[in-house]
Amino acid sequence: MKKINLFRFPLLFLVLSFSTLQAQTSVVISNDVDAPVINRNIYGHFAEHLGRCIYGGLYVGEDSEIPNTDGVRNDLIEALKNLQIPILRWPGGCFADTYHWKDGIGPQEDRPTIVNQWWGGVTEDNSFGTHNFLNLCEVLGAEPYLAANIGSGTVQEFADWIQYVNHSGESPMANLRREYGREKPWGVKYWGVGNEMWGCGGNMTPEYYANLYRQYATFMTNWDNETGLYRIASGANVDDYHWTEVIMRDVPHHLIEGVALHSYSFVEWGDKGDAVDFNEAQYFSTMQTALKMEELVTKHSEIMDKYDPKGEIELIVDEWGGWYDVQEGTNPGFLYQQNTMRDAMIAGVSLNIFNNHSKRVKMANLAQTVNVLQAVALTDGAKMILTPTYHVMEMYKVHQDAQLLPVEFDAPEYTFEGESLPAVSISASKDSIGVLHISAVNIDAENENEVEFDLSGFDLDGFNAEILVSETLQDHNTFDDPEKITPSEFKDFKFKKGRLKMTLPPFSVVVLESK
């Protein structure tokens, strides 16, 4: 950027100063003992057999020179442990409704190959299967979330999978599990009954799927899982409110625990734009779709409230994140993209929305874990980098299982070419030992925003804080410069007599922790 001597142009200095001046935003944070707990599963992840997410991403094989545990690369294991990853969804996605789980068990040399018809038409050898995934979840300390094949599978196949992973007694599937080296069942709780049944799962109507769901859910036997099975219905595509209406109306509530919702952030569906080479108009458009999550969660929750006023059925946003054109020179079916400060903005505002709607939203799964869409990590052979999205997830992990603290404020506007969006997004929580955390995002591409918090209802001594920010929205970590964007200490705030005042730089994420 060309430097301008503002002292030579005093009038210009006044104009520029006025253009970046933002009114102070006042935020009231309530210490509401009846507020819900932010379910840790809101910070969940999603790993599909798609591109290099599994093969070459998570899984490199036991014979790889890359340090690994049972074929899963150790650097990624440690990175996900650091995130305190609570739940991991697998094997899809669209892939789930073409996956036959028995192809991925038993001796490696006996496993058949499969053509991944959804993602690139590549041939896979099924070397990563049920045992590999569930053992990985144990290593990570994460709950497994299995998405079952409804589109091209059978009720019997589904029931057998549940028996295989959950039954401790004598049975054909339990004995087969023992034959393949696992005595103790894994006790899988979370099950997706199909995926995107309105699209790649079978292009079904909601009425047809509701009946099909009832059939499959009926034969989902609990076996030895003391906590019971948690059955998640394939939910709406973005704002298809009729889909949610039919599921809530037509499925008996004793057969269902959760309803899914999928929504991605992009410039526009037909032209998603480049992941790095984007302008402010494309950034603004992407943030419009990201912030629409507030409307989606609100309206789908209202439908659920109508049929389930006690809130016993939960909203599961098991696919969300930024989606752009693939990186030039890569397989278009692999959905590999870079990850910039724009993605940090998507992550920050999305997680704030989920936190603030934690009365109904009990799980969310970022798409996807590694090398696909809005990944938290990217790999290149033995190299691995952590993305800006990873760092937001790491900063926000303090909200897991903490009590929500409701926030009230009128957000300042981020205006571009006559359109406006709320510039500031905030959520807050109090953990089990009384420590308060506030996460704040300023999505404005040009202007800082001053925010003052009324914390008079809390007994606090002060705050520590960290910030994720960079020079341009397009900045990203690379294999040559893996730490270009990392969190750093944030000091631009003052706390006095229950008032916390801070200035948020343009496109930044800040998390504060009370002392």
Q: What is the CA radius of gyration of the chain?
A: 23
Non-local (6+) Cβ contacts of 141 within 8 A are: 81, 84, 85
**Tokens standing for residue 135:** 């053992």
CA distances from 196 to 38, 149, 248, 295 (A): 26, 11, 16, 20
How far is it, in rounded angstroms, from Cα 32 to Cα 273? Answer: 43
Angle CA(286)–CA(467)–CA(342) in degrees, nearest 5?
15
**DSSP H or E segment with residue 489:** strand 488-489
Amino acid identity, position 199: G
Farthest-apart Cα atoms in the chain, separation: 86
Position of tokens 């990186």?
A: 327
The CB-based long-range contact list for 171-178 (8 Å cut-off, 24+ gap) reads 176/105
Q: What are phi and psi of 378, to 5 degrees?
A: -125, 140
The SS3 of residue 64 is coil
Preceding omega of 112 cis (within 30 degrees of 0): no
Q: Is 438 exposed, middle or buried (0-12, 13-18, 19+ CB in 10 A)?
A: buried
Assess whether 446 carries a catalytic annotation.
Answer: no
How far is it, in rounded angstroms, from Cα 429 to Cα 458? Answer: 12
The packing angle between helices 74-82 and 130-140, to 10°, is 50
Q: Are 470 and 512 in contact (CB under 8 A)?
A: no
Q: Is 155 exposed, middle or buried (0-12, 13-18, 19+ CB in 10 A)?
A: middle
**Tokens standing for residue 83:** 């995130």
DSSP string, 310-341: T--SEEEEEEEEE--PPPTTS-TTS-----BH
Active-site choice (48, 143, 257, 319)? 319
CA distances from 63 to 60, 68, 72, 73, 384 (A): 8, 9, 11, 11, 19
* Alpha helices by DSSP H, 424-503: none
Active-site choice (48, 124, 143, 196)? 196
How far is it, in rounded angstroms, from Cα 331 to Cα 51? Answer: 8
Assess whether 408 carries a catalytic annotation.
Answer: no
Q: Are 354 and 364 in contact (CB under 8 A)?
A: yes
**DSSP H or E segment with residue 141:** none
The residues annotated with a catalytic role in the active site are 196, 319
